């Protein structure tokens, strides 16, 4: 290496070191450990193996080896999840100027969350079975439930969201967001772990869907690609982060491709939101909202039920 090359490289290193001191909030250099991102991603996959055995990885299960494999996997997930939760809670405490030792009953809290999560898995399988049923009913191109688990990005995104949401509502920082952003990068479906979603959600195609933190989606809802359930005023929500700023979608609503619904509005039960609609107001139950013609005028109609 020439003298000039050495000087240029040293200048670069000095610039980086100065940058690390100037912007410490966007790196992690110090004594507080954080779980490696790849470890959280591996944990997601292993949890999904328990939820959908034989369909996530090419593994051979039968009813002789299944109890052994499930037991081994469950114990492994327990210890890895417990360690990851402990690390992120300690990190959060350090960000607030505290230490883990100052947190009341810290060890018991971490262990309790890990046990509660594992105990939730049978119930979660029931919920995901409803999601699979909803896709099978709503998508004429679907062939079987196993095909949906193996191939459908909508189910993949929803299953990871449901894992992340459980941890999110128990106050676990960072891990839920890593989970949902990982599946977002794989599927193009962005669901914040804070969203509340009922049973039987069908996401069809899915690419480009964005569902914001305070959205509520109730039972038997169908959402197509390119839909946004977003917020109107980021500035207002920064002042008051607890305010509800995303839509509520009532039972049995269909939201077609490209629709954008913004703000704390309510889409009434049984309504249909047409493709490419832009909506910032609540609508009553059994409504249809669609683009009237090529001028993009929007029209809201009340459904007429046949008797």
User: Hey, where are the domains in the chain?
Assistant: 31-188, 208-307
Distance (Å, rounded) from C-alpha 173 to C-alpha 209?
23
Residue 307 scores a pLDDT above 90: no
Rounded Cα distance between 218 and 229, Å, is 13
Query: Residue 293: how many CA atoms within 13 Å on its side-chain side?
Result: 1
Chain length of the chain:
307
With 0-12 / 13-18 / 19 or more C-beta atoms within 10 angstroms meaning exposed / middle / buried, residue 67 is exposed
Q: Which of 197-201, 241-245, 292-296 has the lowest mean pLDDT?
A: 292-296
Q: Which is nearest to 160 in space by CA: 145, 144, 182?
A: 182
We find that the CATH architecture of domain 31-188 is Orthogonal Bundle (1.10)
Per-residue model confidence (pLDDT) at position 229:
98
DSSP-derived pairing of the beta strands 202-204 and 266-267: unpaired
Whether residue 300 has pLDDT greater than 80 = no
Give 298's strand partners. 291
24 vs 89, which has greater pLDDT? 89
Per mean pLDDT, which of 21-35, 65-79, 200-214, 287-301 is the most reliable? 200-214
How many Cβ atoms sit within 10 Å of the Cβ of residue 211? 25
The pLDDT of residue 113: 97
CATH for the stretch 208-307: 2.160.10.10
State the Cα–Cα distance between residues 282 and 280, nearest whole angstrom.
7
Cα(66)–Cα(76) distance, rounded to whole angstroms?
Answer: 15
pLDDT band at 65 (very low <50, low <70, confident <90, very high): confident
With a cut of 60, say whether residue 296 has pLDDT above it. Answer: no
On the CB side of 64, CA atoms within 13 Å amount to 1
State residue 157's pLDDT score.
98
pLDDT digits (tens, 9 = 90+) for 105-124: 888 999 999 999 999 999 99
Residues 6+ apart with CB under 8 A from 285: 250, 268, 269, 270, 271
Q: Are 227 and 254 in contact (CB under 8 A)?
A: no
Mean pLDDT, residues 163-180: 97
Kindly report, residue by residue over 200-226, the tens digit of the pLDDT. Answer: 999 999 999 999 999 999 999 999 999
Beta strands 298-302 and 278-279 are: unpaired
Rounded to two decimals, the pTM is: 0.88
Q: Computed from CA positions of residues 41, 47, 52, 58, in that sequence, does the dihedral angle turn out positive or negative?
A: positive
- Give the Cα separation of 32 and 96 in Å (integer): 13
Helices (H), the chain: 3-22, 37-51, 66-95, 106-138, 145-151, 153-168, 175-187, 234-239
Predicted local confidence at residue 295, as pLDDT: 55
Mean residue pLDDT across the chain: 91
Q: Indicate the pLDDT class of residue 169, thresholds 50, 70 and 90.
A: very high
């Amino acid at each position: 290496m020439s003298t000039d090359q050495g000087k240029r490289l040293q200048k670069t290193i000095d610039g980086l070191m100065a940058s690390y001191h100037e912007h410490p909030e966007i790196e992690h250099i110090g004594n507080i450990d954080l779980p490696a991102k790849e470890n959280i991603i591996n944990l997601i996959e292993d949890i999904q193996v328990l939820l959908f055995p034989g369909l996530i990885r090419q593994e051979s299960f039968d009813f002789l080896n299944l109890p052994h494999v499930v037991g081994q996997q469950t114990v492994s997930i327990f210890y890895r999840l417990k360690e990851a939760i402990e690390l992120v809670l300690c990190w959060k405490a350090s960000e607030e100027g505290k230490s883990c030792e100052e947190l009341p009953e810290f060890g018991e809290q971490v262990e309790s969350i890990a046990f509660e999560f594992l105990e939730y898995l049978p119930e979660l399988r029931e919920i995901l079975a409803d999601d699979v049923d909803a896709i099978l009913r709503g998508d004429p191109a679907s062939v079987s439930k196993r095909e949906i688990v193996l191939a459908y990005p909508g189910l993949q995104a929803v299953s990871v969201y449901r894992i992340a949401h459980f941890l999110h509502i128990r106050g676990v920082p960072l891990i839920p967001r890593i989970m949902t952003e990982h599946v977002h990068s794989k599927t193009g479906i962005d669901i914040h772990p804070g969203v509340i979603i009922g049973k039987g959600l069908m996401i069809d195609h899915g690419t480009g869907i964005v569902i914001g933190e305070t959205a509520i989606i109730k039972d038997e809802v169908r959402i197509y690609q390119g839909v946004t359930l977003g917020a109107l005023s980021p500035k207002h929500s920064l002042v008051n982060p607890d305010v509800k700023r995303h839509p509520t979608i009532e039972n049995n609503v269909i939201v077609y491709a490209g629709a954008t619904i913004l703000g704390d509005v309510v889409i009434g039960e049984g309504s249909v939101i047409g493709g490419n609609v832009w909506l910032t107001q609540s609508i009553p139950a059994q409504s249809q909202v669609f683009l009237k013609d090529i001028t993009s005028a929007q029209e809201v109609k009340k459904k007429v039920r046949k008797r």
